[in-house]
């Protein structure tokens, strides 16, 4: 059974006095339903579960009065013994709540009533296509949290790496001392496995159970196919082919030296006016993350971000690997990284950073200066360079050598290194990226 960090958040939510109904959003198949239902079984006497995607009839319950006693009356009549409402001991789970906008409106009434806890989950909340149906969003009466596929630390737990190892790695980071050779080798191996497996729970579990990469790839490509099916099913008719073309262009976008998203790579002659909405649809579905270019690599990063100049990364790095041709998994697992380092390992870094809740930024100038990522860390602006193996970082040196122009605190290089330092540049093994949490 996979251990997920969302369990801690759910406990904190339940224990908070006067907590509001919770909305848990995230891309399809990232584990929302499993985690919420397991939490319900462990922390409530009664779970009332509605899945609006599987059973469209449930929406009729919310078609009239949204007063809580009226809703509970209808639910007990509809579900019988499966619906027990006991104040303080019942949680109502509204799965795929985007399929029933009126159920989300009802969260306000449950919040004001306060007798029962409510958790809604949604994979496509806010994407264009659902907005055509009228509903009132209960602003101020719900708590919204985002859930991701397994992050790298959760992947380590799944592979039997004890949490005490994280403590040891933090000590190595703080003291800037090398990781012990045996553990270093093991974590390097697990990082390459994470690069191809990713964090989709069903994929990770299959990998743990069988270690058959053909089974892993089959599941990943099934998820990608499901994503495209969603694009066909839920998007506006005029947007459907545009969304798929945007989605399928992502590997091509990342293969370019200058990885700024270019609409011309989606389709010859394409423009932002035609495809910007399609890209937004994919982002709203939780499938991708944007990384914004900065006018200057200095704090505050949001202030310096250029909203129409960005890279696009897949939320789950394993799915990006699955979008490439057969044999890619073998190359990565064997460490044969030539030709892949730009696409896969920058995406891997974006995967790790985004799942920590970080917004993503980079720095690129026409003069040739380019920094893979820029972030706030320990109160300073830090340059972050990603190397699939090892390598020089000329742009980092240029920026650090001009402190009168660039106000940065230092740089971190992630790659096939152990922990070390050279002046203002800290080198870290790639697998330690998940420890860079301090803002």
Q: pLDDT of 20-34, one tens digit each?
A: 999 999 999 999 999
Q: How far apart are the C-alpha atoms of 26 and 241, rounded to whole Å?
A: 23
Residue 236: CB partners within 8 Å, gap ≥ 6? 128, 129
Peptide bond into 300 cis (omega under 30): yes
Query: Residue 264, Cβ neighbours under 10 Å: how many?
Result: 11
- Is the pLDDT at 69 greater than 60? The verdict is yes
3-state SS class at 195 = helix
pLDDT at 392: 62
Backbone angles phi, psi at 393, to 5 degrees: -130, 80
Minimum mean pLDDT range among 119-133, 293-307, 384-398: 119-133
Q: How far apart are the C-alpha atoms of 223 and 203, rounded to whole Å?
A: 10
**Over residues 310-329, mean pLDDT:** 94
* 269 pLDDT tier (thresholds 50, 70, 90): confident
Q: How far is CA 378 from CA 298, 374, 435, in A?
A: 14, 13, 12
Q: How far apart are the C-alpha atoms of 68 and 113, rounded to whole Å?
A: 7
Q: Which residue has the tokens 């190892």?
A: 165
CATH of domain 6-146: 3.40.50.300
* 324 pLDDT tier (thresholds 50, 70, 90): very high
Minimum mean pLDDT range among 148-157, 198-207, 273-282: 273-282
**Over residues 254-273, mean pLDDT:** 82
Q: How far apart are the C-alpha atoms of 137 and 141, rounded to whole Å?
A: 9
pLDDT at 5: 96
Virtual torsion, Cα 208, 210, 213, 219, nearest 10 deg: -80
pLDDT at 130: 46
Question: Which of 78, 98, 105 lies closest to 25, judged by CA?
Answer: 98
Q: What is the pLDDT of residues 159-187, one digit of tens each?
A: 999 999 999 999 999 999 999 999 999 99
Q: How far out from the chain centre does Cα 74 lie?
A: 37
Taking the domains of the chain in order of start, what are their residue ranges? 6-146, 152-355
pLDDT at 132: 46
Backbone angles phi, psi at 286, to 5 degrees: 80, 15
Instruction: Report the mean per-residue pLDDT for the chain.
Output: 92
**Over residues 412-419, mean pLDDT:** 94
pLDDT at 226: 95
Question: pTM score > 0.85 for this model?
Answer: yes
* 134 pLDDT tier (thresholds 50, 70, 90): very low
pLDDT at 26: 93
Top pLDDT among 372 and 341 is at 372
């Amino acid at each position: 059974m996979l251990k997920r960090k969302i369990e801690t958040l759910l406990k904190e939510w339940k224990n908070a006095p006067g907590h509001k109904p919770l909305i848990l959003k995230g891309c399809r198949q990232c584990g929302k339903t499993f985690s919420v239902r397991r939490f319900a079984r462990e922390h409530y006497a009664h779970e009332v579960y509605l899945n609006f995607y599987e059973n469209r009839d449930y929406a009729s319950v919310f078609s009239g009065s949204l007063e809580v006693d009226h809703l509970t009356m209808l639910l007990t009549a509809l579900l019988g013994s499966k619906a027990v409402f006991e104040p303080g001991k019942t949680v109502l789970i509204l799965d795929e709540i985007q399929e029933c906008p009126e159920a989300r409106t009802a969260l306000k009434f449950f919040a004001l009533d306060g007798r029962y806890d409510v958790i809604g989950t949604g994979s496509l909340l806010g994407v264009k296509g659902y907005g055509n149906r009228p509903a009132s969003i209960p602003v101020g009466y719900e708590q919204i949290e985002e859930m991701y596929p397994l992050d790298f630390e959760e992947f380590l737990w799944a592979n039997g790496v004890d949490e005490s190892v994280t403590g040891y790695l933090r000590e190595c980071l703080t003291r800037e001392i090398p990781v012990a050779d045996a553990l270093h080798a093991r974590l390097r191996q697990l990082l390459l496995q994470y690069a191809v497996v990713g964090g989709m729970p069903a994929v990770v579990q299959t990998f743990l159970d069988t270690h058959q990469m053909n089974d892993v790839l089959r599941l990943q490509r099934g998820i990608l196919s499901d994503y495209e099916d969603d694009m066909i099913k839920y998007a506006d008719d005029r947007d459907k082919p545009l969304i798929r073309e945007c989605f399928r262009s992502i590997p091509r976008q990342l293969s370019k030296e200058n990885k700024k998203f270019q609409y011309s790579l989606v389709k010859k002659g394409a423009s932002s006016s035609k495809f910007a909405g399609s890209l937004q649809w994919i982002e709203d579905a939780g499938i991708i993350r944007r990384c914004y270019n900065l006018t200057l690599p200095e704090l505050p990063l949001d202030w310096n971000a250029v909203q129409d100049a960005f890279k696009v990364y897949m939320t789950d790095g394993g799915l990006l690997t699955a979008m490439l041709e057969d044999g890619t998994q073998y190359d990565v697992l064997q460490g044969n990284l030539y030709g892949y380092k730009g696409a896969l390992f920058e995406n891997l870094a974006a995967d790790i950073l985004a799942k920590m809740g970080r917004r993503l930024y980079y720095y690129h100038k026409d003069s040739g200066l380019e920094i893979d990522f820029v972030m706030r860390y320990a109160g300073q602006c830090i340059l972050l360079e990603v190397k699939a193996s090892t390598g020089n970082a000329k742009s980092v040196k240029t920026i650090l050598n001009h402190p009168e122009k660039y106000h940065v605190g230092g740089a971190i290089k992630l790659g096939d290194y152990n922990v070390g330092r050279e002046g203002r540049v800290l080198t870290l093994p790639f697998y330690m990226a998940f420890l860079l949490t301090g803002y």
